[in-house]
Structure 1
Amino acid sequence: MKHLMIAAGLLSATAAVAADKPQLTVYTYDSFVSDWGPGPKVEEAFEAVCDCDLNLVGVEDGAALLSRLRLEGENTDADVVLGLDTGLISAAKETGLFAPNSVSADYTLPIEWPDDVFAPYDWGYFAFVHNADGAAPANFRELAEGESKIIIQDPRSSTPGLGLLLWVKAAYGDEAPEIWAGLADNIVTVTKGWSEAYGLFLEGEADMVLSYTTSPAYHLIAEEDASKAAAAFDEGHYMQVEVAAKLASSDQPELADQFLEFMVSDTFQQIIPTTNWMYPAVTPAAGLPEGFDTLITPEKSLLFTPDEAAAVRDQALAEWLGALSQ
């Protein structure tokens, strides 16, 4: 009995210590907090230096993150949001929910980064992933004219889905409706988020899935499987830069700043390539993992500025909806 009383006392003391620790709540997307995503390693590493409790809350996808924050407004529990991208920055700023940060980093992005509210943590190029033993189209026109069945994500809930709209718009401009009209018959299904779409592709439900040029690295490194490839499109590939920011309503602003600084540290950045399967925003001291050198490198990079993306978003969405409703 005495031993039980002592054990109970130790458990109570441990719980009290845990309760005394401040909590930082970070909203992010589901794949980030999954067992195979960066979340578990990031949580362990940050809690080792912050003397806090890091609470990672998963939401379906990046666009869904912004929708949730809009609904919750200043009453949100989030201190930090991680998982928006350049296509959503302008809309996110319009909410007035975010505060400037003091992040300082030597970014190795392909573009300059002047924003003082949203800090990048990784980047990549959108691409259609397919089985490497099959032929792949060289551009959107070939894809539309061919028989390949594809799975894409909904641009209203998914950052890759929105990225695809911007990709087509950046590559074809006023001809984008024509491209979507041609692609409509190729689309097997439209999912809410990336995870569902990629899972369906792996189950054999389609020939290709909208993902990233870096996705084959997962199969190569984690599974020793070289059977997946990303199709290289000659009109260029649209770039995604994923970002994080702190909420102006946070009751842990200093801890939020600490997390954002940690986010661009070598510890965090070296976690990204083999868990989020993207390029890190700051190349780790050890460099990129073996296998990343096998990935395709787009000959042309496409990217709207946040303001440009906001200006064309509604038109691009209308063109997409119009084509799929025929």
Structure 2
Amino acid sequence: MKYSVFAAALLGASAAYADTPELTVYTYDSFVSDWGPGPAVEKAFEAQCGCDLKLVAAGDGAALLARVKLEGARSDADVVLGLDTNLTAAAAATGLFAEHGVTADYSLPLAWEGATFAPYDWGYFAFVHNADAVSVPTDFKALGASDMKIVIQDPRSSTPGLGLLMWVKAAYGDDAPAIWADLADNVVTVTKGWSEAYGLFLDGEADMVLSYTTSPAYHLIAEEDATKAAAAFDEGHYMQVEVAGVLAASDQPELARDFMQFMVSEGFQSVIPTTNWMYPSVTPASGLPEGFETLITPVKSLLLPADEAAALRDGALGEWLDALSQ
């Protein structure tokens, strides 16, 4: 009799689990890490959705789009989180994304428009270095003329890597090839993604690493370590706005849009500053954590429109490859 009761309970639990909707979100590696936003986001969303949220690491940001394009309508993903405005035009052109329906009072430093992708955080690219470094370059020309060794990311797989191409292009236009020719000798290595590059910098393999103006906040707040700083560049810093989108072929479209709306809520946005170490797209009620006020403020914000970035990408990539292959 006891076994019958146990079996019935087990079958009931199995049926309940089978009825639990599952939402799959493709994102980048650092998002799902133990120290990233993933664990807190998963716990908070599952508490309100009664669902199983699966966060799937799919490489760095640019690799996300490549994977979704390869999988097409057969993709297991319902939501893709981790593209940026340098990729949104190419992503929209695939026809794989649907309107998200998100409404939000964004605190971005620019007006946000578009019904296909919604922003969840933003920041500025920067070269991070040890705070005690001497003669830190203050622009790309000075960096190219210096002996500083740098680690950067591959623009074909990484959104920071692609952001660097757009940064140089936005700042120097037709002179970008000359900038890259001077920078080539400074590049120690090119990594597939951000995590690998930052790890090499922390291991002392390079003097500077392509990261964000907000990266020193991690060391200051999480580690009580004030030994890292971001170099302020006179020509300005390129902005990154990270976005998410719903796949049109999702078998959970309503749940996917619920997640997108949750993404701009307090439960998601409040964890961004101290887990993703970026600025939230909607300022939490608590504001930014103490320590963010110590970060550099770019003298000029650079950001190419999505369609212009898409049009320039192949040419800028060719210039980069030519310089680094010499």
Letter in 1 for 2:87: L
The residue that corresponds to 1:74 in the other structure is 73
How far does residue 267 in structure 1 lie from its aligned partner after superposition?
Answer: 1.0
Unmatched runs of 5 consecutive residues or more in structure 1: none
Q: How many residues were matched structurally?
A: 325
Provide closer, same or farther for how the CA distance between residues 224 and 12 of structure 1 changes in structure 2, counting only shifts above 3 A.
Answer: farther
The residue that corresponds to 1:225 in the other structure is 225
Deviation track 1:21-78 (CA, whole Å, cap 9, x = no partner) reads: 0000000000000111000000000000001000110011111000000110000000
Letter in 2 for 1:314: D
How far does residue 148 in structure 1 lie from its aligned partner after superposition?
Answer: 0.3
Matches within 5 A, 1:200-215: 200-215=200-215
Provide the rounded CA distance (Å) in 2 between the counterparts of 1:39 and 1:299.
32
Matches within 5 A, 1:154-165: 154-165=154-165
Provide closer, same or farther for how the CA distance between residues 182 and 77 of structure 1 changes in structure 2, counting only shifts above 3 A.
Answer: same
Provide the rounded CA distance (Å) in 2 between the counterparts of 1:53 and 1:265.
19
Provide the rounded CA distance (Å) in 2 between the counterparts of 1:91 and 1:223.
38
The residue that corresponds to 1:257 in the other structure is 257
Provide the rounded CA distance (Å) in 2 between the counterparts of 1:250 and 1:69.
12
Provide the rounded CA distance (Å) in 2 between the counterparts of 1:199 and 1:82.
23
Provide the rounded CA distance (Å) in 1 between the counterparts of 2:307 and 2:106.
21
Deviation track 1:71-92 (CA, whole Å, cap 9, x = no partner) reads: 1000000000000000000000
Secondary structure of the 1:235 match is coil
Q: Does 1:132 align with 2:131?
A: yes
Provide closer, same or farther for how the CA distance between residues 187 and 5 of structure 1 changes in structure 2, counting only shifts above 3 A.
Answer: farther
* Runs ≥4 residues deviating over 3 A: 4-16
Letter in 2 for 1:69: V
Letter in 1 for 2:221: I
Provide closer, same or farther for how the CA distance between residues 9 and 134 of structure 1 changes in structure 2, counting only shifts above 3 A.
Answer: farther
How far does residue 20 in structure 1 lie from its aligned partner after superposition?
Answer: 1.2
How far does residue 12 in structure 1 lie from its aligned partner after superposition?
Answer: 5.2
Identical aligned pairs, as a percentage?
74
The residue that corresponds to 1:60 in the other structure is 59
Secondary structure of the 1:113 match is coil
TM-score of the two chains, using structure 2 as the length reference: 0.97
- For the aligned residues, what is the CA RMSD? 1.3
Secondary structure of the 2:133 match is coil
Provide closer, same or farther for how the CA distance between residues 51 and 141 of structure 1 changes in structure 2, counting only shifts above 3 A.
Answer: same
The residue that corresponds to 2:317 in the other structure is 317
The residue that corresponds to 2:33 in the other structure is 34
Unmatched runs of 5 consecutive residues or more in structure 2: none
Provide the rounded CA distance (Å) in 1 between the counterparts of 2:181 and 2:5.
71
